[in-house]
């Protein structure tokens, strides 16, 4: 493992990720400090999801440099997995397990307590009735909340969220924004992708735009919600 | 150990909820045994072939159980979340293999009983110990190979047909060893007890080799690089 400066959560230097021979990330460079809330914008196929999966240690770095939470991904990308929480397009839930059982399973894997499970469910507004409902019978929004509760229970230092607002109604989206800001207040770093210009501009202090697998702009918004 | 138990318990809980083994796999395996009995239509021939038929039915049924075990991981990308929660993917391999072992052991118990009832196979005295050992070791081999090849095809298109194509040739040595050892346990005239135990040795080595290779290969196999 190679350490970087303690305040840096993510540092990418000309990072290249090849998927089936295609450079999905073609020399991306960016840096995210610990405790930051950053939105990743870009059209479909510009490498947003790949960047998140790279940071989660789920795809190999082909060229360039990538250091996440002090772990050099070129050396050991498995080591970073327990430090980050990734929520992709899909929720990663087991349809036959209840909402609570799904969160409790994650808790077991990471050594969290049943109290942590209850806290996470409560924080996401998941009531007792929903908690005992099988994930396969939940609405899209409820499944998303369950997946987020699993993320909370992991106490991840870095949250990597791929379109976390997708499938949520307006109230739930606003609640999610509050949850993300709370996460950064408690010391976590949050990097999420979004297609929504307004959400990236108003709800997030910093917006990074990807195009063609490279970072093309990096803007800090004065309208962004202060942390 | 915590991860292994948690993964195995999760898989068994899902199996208990869906009853895949009870409602689909056990009836399928019993049907295979019945159809063999109808097709061969000779008590002497059935008694001679009983052990092989039991393990043939086990092999086919294993494909169904393995497919189900990995369907639950891929349907909502749960495998990514699972791997993201653990620094040691080999524990996920052992957890899934343990769950498969429990399910396949139960299935083997049903099929051996069916062979006794349908084919007139008999087990007595110290042959029971051999039979139990054969079932445990052969099921261990099936579980480890099943988990390994289930992971290989998990993210592939057409995995339902690819799994048997890839796994069955690899399982041929297990089929031979388990059938011969079970023949000895059934008191066949063609193989004695000592030779039966020798085949158990083959099954033990097979389970250990695939248990180790599967654990080592599980991480690169399940990690998506595409």
Output the DSSP codes for B36-67: HHHHH--HHHHHHHHHHHHHHHHHHHHHHHHH
- Chain B residues whose CB is inside 8 A of the A151 CB are none
How close are the terminal C-alpha atoms of chain B, in Å? 31
Report CB contact under 8 Å: A58, B76.
Answer: no
Residues A147 and A4: beta-carbon distance below 8 Å? no
DSSP reduced 3-state for A215: strand
β-strands A37-41, A206-211 pairing: parallel
Spatial distance between the Cα atoms of A112 and A222, rounded to a whole number of angstroms: 38
Give residue B143's pLDDT. 97
- As to burial, measured by CB atoms within 10 angstroms (0-12 exposed, 13-18 middle, 19+ buried), residue A98 is buried
Give me the residue from A20, A59, A81 closest to B84, CB to CB: A81
pLDDT on residue A174: 81
- Report chain B residues whose CB lies below 8 A from the CB of A91: 76-77
- A218: enclosing H helix or E strand: strand A214-220
Report the distance separating Cα B207 and Cα B222, nearest Å.
Answer: 21
Closest residue of chain A to B9, computed from CA coordinates:
A105
Q: How many helices (H) and strands (E) does chain B have?
A: 9, 0
Q: Do A85 and B13 touch (CB under 8 A)?
A: no
Q: Give the closest-approach CA distance of A92 to chain B in angstroms.
A: 4
List chain A domain ranges.
Answer: 93-155
| Model pLDDT for residues B166-183, shown as the tens digit of each residue | 999 999 999 999 999 999
ipTM of the complex: 0.86
Tokens of A2: 């190679």
From A85, which residue of chain B is nearest by alpha-carbon distance?
B84
Name which of B10, B72, B84 to mutate to probe chain A: the one with the most chain A Cβ atoms within 10 A of its Cβ. Answer: B84
Probe site for chain B from A94, A103, A152 (most B CB atoms < 10 A): A94
- By Cβ distance, the residue of A20, A56, A92 closest to B226 is A20
Closest alpha carbon within chain B to A87: B81
User: What residue in A sits closest to B70 (Cα-Cα)?
Assistant: A94
* Interface residue of B4, B12, B69, B76 to substitute, partner A, most A CBs within 10 Å: B76
- Closest residue in A to B18 (Cα) is A96
Cβ neighbours of A81 in B, within 8 Å: 83-87
Q: Does B10 sit within 8 Å of A95, measured CB to CB?
A: no
Phi, psi at residue B225, to the nearest 5°?
-115, 20
Phi, psi of B221 (to 5 degrees): -75, -35
Closest-CA residue to B135 (of B172, B95, B179, B81):
B179
**Burial class of residue A3, CB neighbours in 10 A (0-12, 13-18, 19+):** exposed
Nearest partner of B150 among B61, B76, B218, B58, judged by Cα: B218
Q: How many CB atoms lie within 10 A of CB B27?
A: 10
In this prediction, the residues of chain A whose per-residue pLDDT falls under 50 are: 1-5, 224-227
The residue among A213, A156, A211, A149 whose CA lies nearest residue A188 is A156
Find the CB nearest A90 among B10, B76, B82: B76
Rg over alpha carbons for chain A, rounded to the nearest Å, is 17
pLDDT digits (tens, 9 = 90+) for A51-100: 999 998 888 899 999 999 999 999 888 888 888 988 888 889 999 999 99
What residue spans define the domains of chain B? Answer: 2-222
Helices (H) and strands (E) counted in chain A, each on its own, are 7, 10
Rounded to whole angstroms, what are the CA distances from A66 to A28, A42, A61, B134, B210? 10, 20, 8, 50, 35
Q: Do A148 and A109 touch, CB atoms closer than 8 A?
A: no
For residue B87, the chain A residues in CB contact (below 8 A) are 78-79, 81-82
Say whether B85 and A56 touch across the interface (CB within 8 A).
no
Total count of residues recorded for chain A = 227
**Chain B residues whose beta carbon lies within 8 Å of the beta carbon of residue A140:** none
Nearest residue on chain B to A147, alpha-carbon basis: B81
Residue B36 token pair: 């063999």
Using alpha carbons, select from B224, B104, B72 the residue that is nearest to residue A95. Answer: B72
pLDDT tens digits, chain B, 226 residues: what are they? Answer: 789 999 999 999 999 999 988 899 999 999 999 998 889 888 888 888 999 999 999 999 999 999 999 999 988 888 888 887 876 889 999 999 999 999 999 999 999 999 988 888 888 888 899 999 999 999 999 999 999 999 999 878 888 889 999 999 999 999 999 999 999 998 877 888 889 999 999 999 999 999 999 999 887 787 655 4
Residue closest to A158 by CA, chosen among A188, A132, A187: A188
| pLDDT in the model for residue B80 | 81
Residue B120, pLDDT score: 83
Strand order across the beta sheet in which A206-211 lies:
A84-87, A158-162, A189-193, A37-41, A206-211, A214-220
| Closest residue of chain B to A154, computed from CA coordinates | B85
For residue A122, give the nearest of A99, A138, A140 by alpha carbon: A99
Q: Burial letters for B80-112: b for 16+ Cβ neighbours within 10 Å, e otherwise?
A: bbbbbbbbbbbbbbbbbbbbbbbbbbebbebbb
Q: A76 to chain B: which residues are within 8 Å by CB?
A: none
Strand pairing class (A158-162; A84-87): parallel
**Nearest Cα to B85, choosing from A70, A106, A56, A59?**
A106
């Amino acid at each position: 493992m190679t350490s970087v400066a303690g305040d840096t959560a993510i540092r990418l230097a000309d990072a290249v990720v090849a998927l089936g021979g295609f450079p999905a990330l073609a020399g991306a460079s960016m840096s995210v400090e610990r405790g930051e809330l950053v939105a990743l914008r870009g059209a479909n196929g510009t490498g947003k999801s790949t960047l998140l999966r790279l940071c989660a240690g789920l795809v190999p770095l082909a060229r360039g440099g990538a250091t996440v939470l002090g772990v050099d991904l070129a050396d050991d990308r498995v080591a970073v997995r327990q430090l980050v929480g990734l929520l992709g397009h899909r929720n990663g839930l087991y349809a036959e397990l209840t909402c609570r059982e799904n969160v409790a399973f994650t808790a077991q894997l990471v050594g969290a307590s049943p109290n942590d499970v209850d806290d996470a469910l409560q924080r996401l507004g998941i009531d007792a009735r929903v908690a005992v409902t099988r994930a396969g019978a939940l609405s899209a929004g409820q499944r998303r909340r369950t997946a987020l509760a699993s993320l909370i229970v992991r106490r991840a230092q870095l949250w990597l969220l791929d379109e976390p607002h997708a499938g949520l109604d307006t109230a739930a989206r606003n609640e999610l924004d509050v949850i993300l800001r709370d996460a950064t207040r408690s010391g976590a770093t949050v990097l999420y992708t979004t297609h929504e210009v307004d959400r990236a501009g108003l709800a997030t202090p910093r917006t990074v735009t990807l195009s063609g697998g490279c970072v093309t702009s990096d803007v800090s918004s004065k309208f962004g919600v202060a942390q | 150990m915590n991860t292994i138990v948690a993964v195995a318990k999760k898989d068994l809980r899902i199996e208990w909820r869906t009853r895949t083994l009870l409602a689909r796999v056990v009836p399928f395996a019993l049907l295979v045994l019945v159809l063999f009995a109808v097709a061969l239509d000779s008590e002497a021939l059935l008694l001679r072939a009983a052990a092989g038929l039991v393990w043939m039915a086990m092999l086919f049924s294993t494909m169904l159980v393995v497919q189900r075990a990995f369907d639950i991981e891929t349907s909502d990308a749960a495998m990514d979340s699972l791997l993201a929660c653990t620094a040691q993917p080999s524990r996920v391999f052992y957890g899934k293999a343990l769950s498969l072992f429990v399910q396949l052991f139960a299935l083997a118990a049903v099929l051996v009983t069916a062979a006794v009832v349908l084919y007139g196979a008999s087990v007595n005295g110290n042959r029971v110990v051999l039979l139990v050992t054969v079932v445990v070791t052969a099921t261990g081999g099936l579980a480890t190979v099943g988990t390994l090849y289930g992971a290989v095809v998990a993210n592939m298109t057409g995995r339902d047909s690819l799994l048997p194509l890839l796994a069955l040739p690899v399982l041929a040595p297990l089929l031979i060893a388990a059938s011969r050892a079970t023949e000895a346990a059934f008191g066949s005239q063609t193989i004695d007890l000592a030779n039966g135990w020798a085949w158990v040795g083959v099954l033990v080595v097979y389970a250990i080799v695939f248990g180790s290779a599967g654990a080592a290969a599980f991480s690169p196999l399940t990690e998506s690089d595409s």
